[in-house]
Protein backbone atom coordinates (compact mmCIF):
# COMPACT_ATOMS: atom_id res chain seq x y z
CA UNK A 1 0.00 0.00 0.00
CA UNK A 2 2.76 2.46 0.96
CA UNK A 3 4.48 1.74 -2.35
CA UNK A 4 1.84 3.80 -4.13
CA UNK A 5 2.66 7.52 -4.26
CA UNK A 6 -0.72 8.64 -2.94
CA UNK A 7 -0.38 6.31 0.07
CA UNK A 8 3.23 7.04 0.95
CA UNK A 9 2.41 9.27 3.91
CA UNK A 10 -0.43 7.24 5.38
CA UNK A 11 -0.07 6.22 9.01
CA UNK A 12 1.22 2.72 9.55
CA UNK A 13 -1.58 2.15 12.00
CA UNK A 14 -4.93 1.05 10.60
CA UNK A 15 -7.77 0.91 13.08
CA UNK A 16 -11.16 -0.76 13.39
CA UNK A 17 -14.40 0.91 14.38
CA UNK A 18 -15.98 -1.86 16.48
CA UNK A 19 -16.32 -2.63 20.19
CA UNK A 20 -15.80 0.87 21.61
CA UNK A 21 -17.75 1.80 24.73
CA UNK A 22 -19.49 4.65 22.85
CA UNK A 23 -19.41 6.41 19.46
CA UNK A 24 -17.78 9.43 21.05
CA UNK A 25 -14.97 7.35 22.57
CA UNK A 26 -14.53 5.69 19.17
CA UNK A 27 -14.10 9.09 17.54
CA UNK A 28 -11.66 10.28 20.18
CA UNK A 29 -9.68 7.04 19.95
CA UNK A 30 -9.48 7.23 16.16
CA UNK A 31 -8.23 10.79 16.36
CA UNK A 32 -5.69 9.89 19.05
CA UNK A 33 -4.45 6.94 16.97
CA UNK A 34 -3.62 9.27 14.06
CA UNK A 35 -4.75 6.43 11.75
CA UNK A 36 -5.68 7.35 8.20
CA UNK A 37 -7.48 4.12 7.33
CA UNK A 38 -10.55 2.78 9.16
CA UNK A 39 -12.13 -0.64 8.79
CA UNK A 40 -15.90 -0.95 8.64
CA UNK A 41 -18.38 -3.70 7.87
CA UNK A 42 -21.85 -4.38 6.45
CA UNK A 43 -24.70 -5.97 8.30
CA UNK A 44 -28.42 -6.54 8.15
CA UNK A 45 -30.13 -3.65 9.87
CA UNK A 46 -33.63 -2.48 10.46
CA UNK A 47 -34.36 0.76 8.58
CA UNK A 48 -36.64 1.79 11.44
CA UNK A 49 -33.54 1.95 13.65
CA UNK A 50 -31.69 4.21 11.27
CA UNK A 51 -30.23 1.37 9.21
CA UNK A 52 -26.61 2.21 9.95
CA UNK A 53 -26.83 5.71 8.50
CA UNK A 54 -26.02 7.36 11.80
CA UNK A 55 -22.83 5.33 12.13
CA UNK A 56 -21.88 5.97 8.51
CA UNK A 57 -22.44 9.72 8.85
CA UNK A 58 -20.24 9.68 11.92
CA UNK A 59 -17.47 7.85 10.08
CA UNK A 60 -17.71 10.03 6.98
CA UNK A 61 -17.27 13.13 9.11
CA UNK A 62 -13.88 11.83 10.26
CA UNK A 63 -12.61 12.18 6.68
CA UNK A 64 -10.55 8.96 6.70
CA UNK A 65 -9.99 6.34 4.05
CA UNK A 66 -12.38 3.43 4.39
CA UNK A 67 -11.40 -0.23 4.23
CA UNK A 68 -14.59 -2.30 4.30
CA UNK A 69 -14.33 -5.93 5.39
CA UNK A 70 -16.14 -9.13 4.51
CA UNK A 71 -16.22 -10.30 8.13
CA UNK A 72 -18.30 -13.37 8.74
CA UNK A 73 -18.18 -14.66 5.17
CA UNK A 74 -17.46 -18.36 4.95
CA UNK A 75 -17.65 -19.01 1.23
CA UNK A 76 -16.12 -17.48 -1.87
CA UNK A 77 -19.56 -16.53 -3.13
CA UNK A 78 -20.53 -14.75 0.09
CA UNK A 79 -17.25 -12.88 0.20
CA UNK A 80 -17.40 -11.77 -3.44
CA UNK A 81 -21.01 -10.59 -3.14
CA UNK A 82 -20.26 -8.75 0.11
CA UNK A 83 -17.27 -7.06 -1.52
CA UNK A 84 -19.43 -5.92 -4.43
CA UNK A 85 -22.01 -4.52 -1.99
CA UNK A 86 -19.26 -2.77 -0.03
CA UNK A 87 -17.86 -1.19 -3.19
CA UNK A 88 -21.18 0.41 -3.97
CA UNK A 89 -22.02 1.35 -0.39
CA UNK A 90 -18.66 2.83 0.60
CA UNK A 91 -17.61 4.00 -2.86
CA UNK A 92 -14.19 2.33 -2.74
CA UNK A 93 -12.59 -0.62 -4.49
CA UNK A 94 -10.56 -1.44 -1.37
CA UNK A 95 -11.68 -4.60 0.41
CA UNK A 96 -10.33 -6.34 3.48
CA UNK A 97 -11.07 -9.86 2.37
CA UNK A 98 -12.02 -12.35 5.05
CA UNK A 99 -13.08 -15.89 4.19
CA UNK A 100 -13.39 -17.70 7.48
CA UNK A 101 -12.62 -21.40 7.60
CA UNK A 102 -13.08 -22.11 11.30
CA UNK A 103 -15.68 -20.65 13.64
CA UNK A 104 -13.68 -21.29 16.79
CA UNK A 105 -10.53 -19.36 16.04
CA UNK A 106 -11.75 -17.38 13.01
CA UNK A 107 -8.90 -18.78 10.97
CA UNK A 108 -9.03 -17.90 7.28
CA UNK A 109 -9.89 -20.62 4.78
CA UNK A 110 -6.74 -20.50 2.63
CA UNK A 111 -8.29 -22.13 -0.43
CA UNK A 112 -11.42 -19.98 -0.41
CA UNK A 113 -9.36 -16.89 0.31
CA UNK A 114 -7.14 -17.37 -2.72
CA UNK A 115 -10.10 -18.16 -4.96
CA UNK A 116 -12.05 -15.09 -3.81
CA UNK A 117 -8.93 -12.94 -4.19
CA UNK A 118 -8.45 -14.01 -7.79
CA UNK A 119 -12.09 -13.29 -8.60
CA UNK A 120 -12.11 -9.88 -6.93
CA UNK A 121 -8.88 -8.82 -8.62
CA UNK A 122 -10.49 -9.76 -11.94
CA UNK A 123 -13.25 -7.35 -10.95
CA UNK A 124 -10.74 -4.53 -10.29
CA UNK A 125 -10.79 -4.63 -6.50
CA UNK A 126 -7.75 -3.69 -4.45
CA UNK A 127 -7.73 -6.75 -2.23
CA UNK A 128 -6.26 -6.68 1.28
CA UNK A 129 -6.44 -10.36 2.24
CA UNK A 130 -6.61 -11.35 5.91
CA UNK A 131 -4.55 -14.52 5.94
CA UNK A 132 -2.71 -16.92 8.18
CA UNK A 133 1.06 -16.53 8.48
CA UNK A 134 1.69 -19.22 5.87
CA UNK A 135 4.52 -18.17 3.59
CA UNK A 136 3.31 -20.05 0.54
CA UNK A 137 -0.24 -18.76 0.85
CA UNK A 138 1.03 -15.20 1.25
CA UNK A 139 3.18 -15.72 -1.83
CA UNK A 140 0.22 -17.02 -3.83
CA UNK A 141 -1.88 -14.03 -2.77
CA UNK A 142 0.87 -11.68 -3.92
CA UNK A 143 1.19 -13.56 -7.21
CA UNK A 144 -2.57 -13.24 -7.68
CA UNK A 145 -2.08 -9.47 -7.66
CA UNK A 146 -2.39 -8.34 -4.05
CA UNK A 147 -0.13 -5.38 -3.41
CA UNK A 148 -0.85 -5.70 0.29
CA UNK A 149 -1.03 -8.94 2.26
CA UNK A 150 -2.20 -9.10 5.88
CA UNK A 151 -1.02 -12.13 7.86
CA UNK A 152 -2.35 -12.61 11.38
CA UNK A 153 -0.21 -12.42 14.49
CA UNK A 154 -2.68 -14.62 16.37
CA UNK A 155 -6.46 -15.17 16.21
CA UNK A 156 -8.75 -12.14 15.89
CA UNK A 157 -9.51 -10.47 19.19
CA UNK A 158 -7.24 -12.79 21.18
CA UNK A 159 -4.65 -10.14 22.03
CA UNK A 160 -2.01 -12.84 22.12
CA UNK A 161 0.49 -10.88 20.09
CA UNK A 162 3.03 -12.36 17.67
CA UNK A 163 2.73 -16.09 18.26
CA UNK A 164 5.04 -17.09 15.44
CA UNK A 165 7.64 -14.42 14.76
CA UNK A 166 9.66 -16.86 12.67
CA UNK A 167 6.85 -17.21 10.14
CA UNK A 168 6.32 -13.45 10.02
CA UNK A 169 10.04 -12.85 9.55
CA UNK A 170 10.17 -15.36 6.72
CA UNK A 171 7.20 -13.75 4.92
CA UNK A 172 8.88 -10.35 5.21
CA UNK A 173 12.14 -11.71 3.84
CA UNK A 174 10.55 -13.55 0.93
CA UNK A 175 8.09 -10.83 -0.15
CA UNK A 176 10.17 -7.65 -0.04
CA UNK A 177 8.05 -5.84 -2.64
CA UNK A 178 4.69 -6.46 -1.00
CA UNK A 179 3.18 -4.18 1.64
CA UNK A 180 2.72 -6.37 4.69
CA UNK A 181 0.31 -5.51 7.48
CA UNK A 182 -0.04 -7.58 10.62
CA UNK A 183 -3.78 -7.96 11.01
CA UNK A 184 -5.36 -9.60 14.04
CA UNK A 185 -4.00 -10.66 17.39
CA UNK A 186 -2.09 -7.53 18.34
CA UNK A 187 -2.74 -7.00 22.06
CA UNK A 188 -0.33 -4.35 23.25
CA UNK A 189 1.76 -1.58 21.77
CA UNK A 190 4.96 -3.61 22.14
CA UNK A 191 3.48 -6.16 19.69
CA UNK A 192 3.09 -3.35 17.18
CA UNK A 193 6.61 -2.07 17.80
CA UNK A 194 7.95 -5.56 17.23
CA UNK A 195 6.03 -6.03 13.97
CA UNK A 196 7.30 -2.71 12.63
CA UNK A 197 10.85 -3.43 13.78
CA UNK A 198 10.66 -6.66 11.78
CA UNK A 199 9.99 -4.63 8.67
CA UNK A 200 6.23 -4.95 8.55
CA UNK A 201 4.74 -1.93 6.84
CA UNK A 202 1.84 -1.54 9.23
CA UNK A 203 -0.50 -3.08 11.77
CA UNK A 204 -4.28 -3.25 11.82
CA UNK A 205 -5.81 -3.18 15.28
CA UNK A 206 -9.22 -2.91 16.85
CA UNK A 207 -9.77 -4.87 20.07
CA UNK A 208 -6.40 -3.79 21.48
CA UNK A 209 -7.63 -0.20 21.57
CA UNK A 210 -11.39 -0.61 21.91
CA UNK A 211 -11.17 -3.05 24.83
CA UNK A 212 -8.46 -1.17 26.74
CA UNK A 213 -9.54 0.41 30.02
CA UNK A 214 -8.90 3.78 28.41
CA UNK A 215 -9.24 3.37 24.64
CA UNK A 216 -8.22 6.95 23.87
CA UNK A 217 -4.98 6.69 25.83
CA UNK A 218 -4.26 3.29 24.32
CA UNK A 219 -4.81 4.68 20.82
CA UNK A 220 -2.19 7.30 21.60
CA UNK A 221 0.15 4.55 22.82
CA UNK A 222 -0.26 2.66 19.55
CA UNK A 223 0.36 5.80 17.52
CA UNK A 224 3.71 6.13 19.27
CA UNK A 225 4.40 2.41 18.91
CA UNK A 226 4.14 2.28 15.13
CA UNK A 227 6.22 5.40 14.80
CA UNK A 228 8.87 4.00 17.10
CA UNK A 229 8.90 0.58 15.44
CA UNK A 230 9.21 2.03 11.96
CA UNK A 231 12.00 4.38 12.99
CA UNK A 232 13.84 1.45 14.59
CA UNK A 233 13.50 -0.61 11.42
CA UNK A 234 14.83 2.22 9.28
CA UNK A 235 17.63 2.90 11.77
CA UNK A 236 18.73 -0.75 11.77
CA UNK A 237 18.78 -2.70 15.00
CA UNK A 238 22.22 -3.74 16.30
CA UNK A 239 23.13 -7.39 16.01
CA UNK A 240 22.75 -9.59 19.09
CA UNK A 241 25.90 -10.85 20.78
CA UNK A 242 26.33 -13.84 23.02
CA UNK A 243 28.57 -12.04 25.53
CA UNK A 244 28.78 -8.68 27.22
CA UNK A 245 30.72 -5.92 25.55
CA UNK A 246 31.38 -2.80 27.63
CA UNK A 247 29.79 0.33 26.34
CA UNK A 248 31.87 2.64 28.55
CA UNK A 249 35.43 3.02 27.24
CA UNK A 250 37.90 0.88 29.22
CA UNK A 251 40.78 3.28 28.57
CA UNK A 252 41.35 5.35 31.70
CA UNK A 253 39.28 3.13 33.98
CA UNK A 254 39.73 4.47 37.57
CA UNK A 255 41.30 2.36 40.35
CA UNK A 256 42.82 0.07 37.72
CA UNK A 257 45.99 -1.53 38.93
CA UNK A 258 46.96 -3.74 36.02
CA UNK A 259 46.32 -7.37 35.25
CA UNK A 260 48.53 -8.87 38.03
CA UNK A 261 47.80 -6.60 40.95
Partner 1 sequence: MIELTLNGEAGQLAKPMRLDEFLADRGFHGRGFAVALDGDFVPRSRYADVTLRGGESLEVLSPMQGG
Q: Report in angstroms how near the CB of residue 150 gets to partner 1 at its nearest.
A: 12
Cβ neighbours of residue 118 closer than 8 Å, sequence gap 6 or more: 144, 145
Task: Please check whether residue 150 is in contact with residue 133, taking contact to mean a CB–CB distance below 8 angstroms.
Answer: no
Give Dmax (Cα) for the chain: 90
The verdict on whether 96 is a catalytic residue reads yes
157 is in an annotated binding site: yes
Q: Report in angstroms how near the CB of residue 1 gets to partner 1 at its nearest.
A: 18
Measured distance CA(79)–CA(77) in Å, rounded: 5
Q: Report in angstroms how near the CB of residue 189 gets to partner 1 at its nearest.
A: 17
184 is in an annotated binding site: yes
Nearer to partner 1, 162 or 208 (CB): 208
Nearer to partner 1, 142 or 184 (CB): 184
154 is in an annotated binding site: no
Question: Three-state DSSP class for 54?
Answer: helix
Sheet of 179-183, strands arranged across: 13-16, 202-205, 179-183, 148-151, 126-131, 94-97
Q: Which of 60, 77, 96, 240 is catalytic?
A: 96
206 is in an annotated binding site: yes
Cβ neighbours of residue 135 closer than 8 Å, sequence gap 6 or more: 167, 170, 171, 174
Q: Report in angstroms how near the CB of residue 253 gets to partner 1 at its nearest.
A: 56
Neighbours of 21 (CB within 10 A): 11
Nearer to partner 1, 88 or 177 (CB): 88
50 is in an annotated binding site: no
Nearer to partner 1, 18 or 135 (CB): 18
Judged by the rule CB under 8 A, the positions of this chain that interact with partner 1 are: 16-20, 26, 39-45, 47-48, 51-53, 55-56, 59, 68-69, 71, 77-78, 81-82, 84-86, 88-90, 156-157, 206-207
Q: What is the DSSP string of 165-229?
A: HHHHHHHHHH-TTSEEEEES---SHHHHHHHHHTT--EEEESHHHHTSSSHHHHHHHHHHHHHHH
Positions at the binding site? 157, 184-185, 206-207
Q: Which residues are catalytic?
A: 96
Amino acid sequence: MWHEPECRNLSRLLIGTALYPSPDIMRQAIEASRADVLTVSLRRQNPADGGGEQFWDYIKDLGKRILPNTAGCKSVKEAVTTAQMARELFDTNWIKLEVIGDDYNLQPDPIGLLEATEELIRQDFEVFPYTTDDLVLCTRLAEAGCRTVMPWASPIGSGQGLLNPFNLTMIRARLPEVSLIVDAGIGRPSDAVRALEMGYDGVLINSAVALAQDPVAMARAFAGAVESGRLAYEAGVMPKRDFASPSTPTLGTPFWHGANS
